[in-house]
Amino acid sequence: MALVTSKQMLEDAQKGGYAVGAFNVENMEMVKAVIAAAEEMQAPVMLQTTPSTVKYGTLETYYAIVAAEAKKASVPVCLHLDHGSSFELAAQALRAGYTSVMIDGSHEDFEGNVAVTKKVADMANAMGIPVEAELGKVGGKEDDLEAEADTNTDPQEAKEFVERTGVTSLAVAIGTAHGFYKTTPVLDKERVSEIKAVVSVPLVLHGASGLSDEDVKECVQRGMCKVNFATELRAAYTDAGKKLLEEKPETFDPKKFGVVGMEAVKELVKGRMKVLGCEGKAR
């Protein structure tokens, strides 16, 4: 089917008490792997690209690849700009055909974040495209952006932020971090429940790579409707290629690396979808 927006799939997740998996993709092989996993699991799915990824391959290139693969799929597929770094980039993604965008103004103060987020939301909402924003700071490194420390989201600020900006989903900080964890993270999972009680839009969990299945499940039970995975997909893809070289160092055909990379990513994504509870929820 043609690409769809994230609106219906996230609303369904919010009502159904599960979460949609949002997976960062870097090349054609990862796109094929994620959509193949979604097909096998009969799950709705979001594919994401970050600013550095689109700088590497261009928005138009990733749109063309994902749109072509989505057209062959029987499950809903959404193409999302992850951590959009500016109004201009969000506008470019919308022009390229992306069906969901994130504007990340979390590096700004509260009023600055409201201003840039509302500007993007006004533009996207007029086109019928959903907008995700971030309030609070998720630690670690995502793309070229690095946070020194976590600042968890305040529930009342989240309520005001959503009302003033018009966003359709909100990424909140509860102690997660981008990248792999060096120590066991301490998550403020109660804060998810507190934010859900006062915020009407679906909530988003960033920094899920490396979290235990139990932590992810509890966050979903408490109200997370979209969960992002990036680093662990990159690692799975790369590790599969390394293993192939170790076992068959004479390998030179790039397609061979693509095949093992796709299989590794597909199996990882299927496992994550089971944890999120979105298996069989495609419609």
Q: Is the pTM of this model over 0.85?
A: yes
Residue 244 lies in a domain: no
Start-to-end CA span in the chain (Å): 11
Residue 256 lies in a domain: no
The reported pLDDT for the residue numbered 143 is 55
Does 229 count as an annotated binding residue?
A: yes
Residue 49 lies in a domain: yes
The reported pLDDT for the residue numbered 237 is 98
Residue 2 lies in a domain: no
- Annotate the chain with DSSP letters as a single string: -----SHHHHHHHHHHT--EEEEE--SHHHHHHHHHHHHHHT--EEEEE-HHHHHHH-HHHHHHHHHHHHHT-SS-EEEEEEEE-SHHHHHHHHHHT-SEEEE--TTS-HHHHHHHHHHHHHHHHHTT--EEEEESB-EEEETTEEESS-BPPPHHHHHHHHHHH--SEEEE-SS-EES--SS-----HHHHHHHHHH--SPEEE---TT--HHHHHHHHHHTEEEEEE-HHHHHHHHHHHHHHHHH-TT---HHHHHHHHHHHHHHHHHHHHHHHT-TT---
- The total number of structural domains in the chain stands at 1
Q: What is the pLDDT of residues 228-252, one digit of tens each?
A: 999 999 999 999 999 999 999 999 9
Does 206 count as an annotated binding residue?
A: yes
CA dihedral 259, 265, 271, 275 (to 10 degrees): -160
Distance CA 104, CA 129 (A): 16
Q: What is the pLDDT of residues 172-229, one digit of tens each?
A: 999 877 555 455 677 899 999 999 999 999 999 998 887 899 999 999 999 999 999 9
Does 134 count as an annotated binding residue?
A: yes
Looking at the chain, the whole-number percentage of residues with pLDDT higher than 90 is 86
Q: Which domain holds residue 200?
A: 7-231+269-276
Residue 241 lies in a domain: no
Annotated catalytic residue: which of 82, 150, 154, 215? 82
CA angle 51, 52, 57 (to 5 degrees): 95
The reported pLDDT for the residue numbered 255 is 98
CATH number at residue 19: 3.20.20.70
- Is 82 tagged catalytic? yes
Rg (CA), the chain: 18
Intervals of the chain under pLDDT 50: 140-142, 146-149, 181
The reported pLDDT for the residue numbered 183 is 58
Residues contacting 123, CB < 8 A, separation 6+: 87, 90, 91, 94
The reported pLDDT for the residue numbered 138 is 64
In one letter, which amino acid is 47? L
The reported pLDDT for the residue numbered 141 is 47
Does 80 count as an annotated binding residue?
A: no
Burial letters 27-41, b for 16+ CB under 10 A, else e: bbbbbbbbbbbbbeb
Does 230 count as an annotated binding residue?
A: yes
Residue 196 lies in a domain: yes
Distance CA 117, CA 22 (A): 21
Which residues lie across from 79 on neighbouring strands? 47
Residue 208 lies in a domain: yes
Does 228 count as an annotated binding residue?
A: yes
Does 70 count as an annotated binding residue?
A: no
Residue 236 lies in a domain: no
Does 83 count as an annotated binding residue?
A: yes
Give the other-Cβ count within 10 Å of 24's Cβ: 25
